[in-house]
Amino acid sequence: TNFIHGFPVYCVSIALAVRGKIEQAVIYDPSRNDLFTSTKGRGAYLNERRIRVSKRTQLKACLISTGFPFRPGDNFKNYLTMMGDVMQRTAGLRRPGAAALDLAYVAAGYTDGFFETGLNIWDVAAGSLLVTEAGGLVGNFTGESDFLEQKECLAGSPRIYGQLVQILGKYSKFAGAGDKAALRQAAEEPAAEAADETPASDDTGADEDANF
């Protein structure tokens, strides 16, 4: 969609997998002529310069990127709750709109973390190798590393990744029943509080009209 509209955040993303393991990754950003490359065990590079994930350790100082759900059937209300949960604990939340570049930017230290649901394997395969080779971690929202086909992606430096798992784990489709029940309860509480705060209707006028 970015490319079609001329919004300069898009890329070409290619990954090579051997026996199900990502071994090579290339992400090219034509708008900036940036080439991200990685070979398993040999590090991650931007225009032939070695890159590393950010060194920030406090989530409140971090810039986190994400994406918005857009397919019919996506739980928009749940996603908004999840974004609000993250946003209030960080320095900022961004939605560039290109998951492969989002992961490349985590690898380069431009952002400190990334999370999104509904992604396909081709959206995250190359970027996931870049992140791990740059010293970061990638997995699903509960922290499991076997995530490529689970349509959940969370990435960040090790310290930030762990903090994001603590926040996002309850939103995962792989979360335990207890976590999901707690999430439902938290979502219901604001509505209940709003109902409690609604002033009782004043029937005095109606009674006076009837008596009159």
Nearest-angstrom CA–CA distance, 156 and 138: 7
52: three-class secondary structure by DSSP: coil
What domains can be seen in the chain, in order of their start residue?
A: 2-172 (3.40.190.80)
Q: Which residues of the chain have pLDDT under 70?
A: 70-75, 176-212
What does the pLDDT read at residue 211? 41
Percent of the chain with pLDDT over 90: 59
- Alpha-carbon distance of 202 to 200, in angstroms, equals 6
- Residue 156 has a pLDDT of 97
Per-residue pLDDT, 192: 47
Cα(11)–Cα(27) distance, integer angstroms: 7
Paired tokens of 91: 């320095």
Give the contacts of 92 (CB within 8 A, at least 6 positions apart): 63, 64
Q: How confident is the model at residue 176, as a pLDDT? A: 64
pLDDT of residue 74: 66
Query: According to the model, what pLDDT value does residue 203 have?
Result: 47
